[in-house]
Structure 1
Amino acid sequence: MAQLSSGHLSGLKVAVTGASGNVGTALLRALAKGGAAEVRGLARRQPPETEPYDGARWYLTDLSEPDSEQVLAEFLDGVDAVVHLAWALLPDRQPDLLHRVNVQGTERVLAAAGAAGVQHVVHMSSLGAYAAGPQERPIQEDWPITGIPSSTYSRQKSTCELAVQEFAATYPDTIVSVTRPTLVLQPEAASEIGRYFLGPYLFPLARLLPGEVARLLPLPLPGSLRISFVHAEDVADAIARILDRRAAGPFNLSASPVLDADGLARALGARRIPVPAVVLRTGMQAAFLAHVLQIEAGWLDMGLGIPPLDASRARTALDWRPAHKGDDLLREFVAALGRGQGGQGPLLFPGTGPEHTPA
């Protein structure tokens, strides 16, 4: 892998929304390593005065609120690039709130970037923007971005990509880049992600069960599952390369291997129990309605429907190679989850509550 030299972002002023979250924290470190001239971070809550947050100038606002437009104007004034990471995963039970944060928030960021004349806009999308398809062959960036209709997350990712396309057509002189990573993990975000997806009942259980006991528990998985992971540090590295090379267009980001149901169980050290997808979905939806799970069954539809990602464009155009293998990353993440590990930021800290937060 071609190594990025220290100082390769020298002179660049970069603004990052959602800068205290999973990818945001990793990106702040990458920008500091790259020697960015100025880094501005946008968040709802003030991060602590610790590394890497102490290297950014912070602006506090909630993108779901109209008055955030005033903060955005100041936030983007004079910057060379904006990386839009802010995204709310919860509450799934309030799709209107998620729409205000994610869709309207993205629209506000794009409008502010256009008004400020920002030269480069990087939008953090997801594999969730893609339509369903056969699982046998990984898809490239030209796959339809019409989403999975039953998933709120997927529908909103697709909607935001359409807004980005409209922005690019309106501002043809602006470089517009889109990252579409697969599931993004890092041990430092174990508590944050665990709270999101396991919820208030299962998350404490995951932390209490000894590793040996947890590995004996059955893991119900349908045979059609195909899934991969990518480390937040590798996503941040890709974004730094996009900024460095002023690379436009969409980029899939995924690390090998693609895990099937048996491979996922092996990586977790668990016993897989084969179960039809419809049975698992019914159980998930029942748990969601009973408030045992915080996430809707549409997440399973997305996981089973969207094909694996082909990241060859990032390898070719950015010289990007993930430093972390997906199965190793998953094992490290689960171990960190069991230890109750987290980071120092307001989102990554183990004691933070599961309210809606920019990711």
Structure 2
Amino acid sequence: MNVPQRVLFITRKWPPAIGGMETYAVKLSSELATRTRLEVRALPGKTSGAPPGLLRLLCFMAGSIVVLLRKRMDVIHLGDLVMWPLALVARLKGSSQRIVMTAYGLDLVFGRRRGILPWLYGRYLALGVRLVGRSVRIIAISGPTACLCKEAGFTDVTVVTLGVDVAPRAFSDPRHGEPFILFVGRLVKRKGAAWFANEVMPLLPGNLRLVVVGKCWDRNELDVLRDSPRIEYREFVSSEELLALRSSALVVIMPNIPSGGVDVEGFGLTALEAAADGGVLLASGIEGIVDAVIDHTTGFLLPAGDAVRWAEKIEEIRTWSQERRTAFIRGAREVIVSLYSWRVVAERTLEAYRSGS
């Protein structure tokens, strides 16, 4: 195969900023660097973990334009759709290089929200579709995200999911100690933490606790969680603590509920991380989560908003023997290694560079 010899990866999402896009940029570029002649141009975030401000972003974009005009590469890979003006510059340069952009989901639906900023972003993205929508290849992180890309007007779209690290793990028995359910994610309505607390927890035995880990983005969600003595909220835990929580929880939940099209779970990286860390995952079978969970193999997909089904499944898993639980976790991790490791993601990304129109 003809592997691209020169790849320029430009991203505005980079540590010390914290998030799924930053993880994607670092992990993918690390794997690509072992397979091709990769040059990374990245905009680091703030030491607080927040993304860079607008002024730094504009300066970064301006500097990237200069780099694009000077360099001759086989592939230009832009980290997200916000950076489409760089695709226009690369295309106007008139070379034969392939131009690729990654799409996540929220970058396609943010313009549907109310307010002046979403309205402006929607017009900005629509302009990008008109100017570069037929001349770039889009790498969507899930099938549902690919559908959103095509709805927006992009014509050349392929799917390459996100990846996860899978290291050797010991398997805990959640029957030892006080049993608990784990939720990890931002506290926003569509993630479903408050829904689960209100609708599912009352259907479960009183000795089951819910541990919630994640930053509060919606005060109403946090207020619901703090109203119940069976719920323990932790805004932040270390990576070592998170691993221990996932592997020792009875189940790890992603009880997402539909948002009416103004927000979306582009893939559901938390689902992969939970299974890779030795957790038994229960997730809503909606949006990009369906590409992150292989039902009954790496986790279980349940109807969004069906509290009875969720409670029944949790009760079923409580009856598992430790042998059955260990076998399920081992099987899930083996599948994740074969389908979702960053090595596999890098190979599929390289194929996306080569194939297509």
Q: Same-fold call, TM > 0.5?
A: no
Rg larger in 1 or in 2? 2
TM-score band (shorter)?
0.3 to 0.5
Flag the structure with more relative contact order, 1 or 2, with Cα contacts below 8 A and sequence separation at least 6: 1
Q: Give the structure-1-normalised TM-score.
A: 0.38
Q: Give the structure-2-normalised TM-score.
A: 0.38
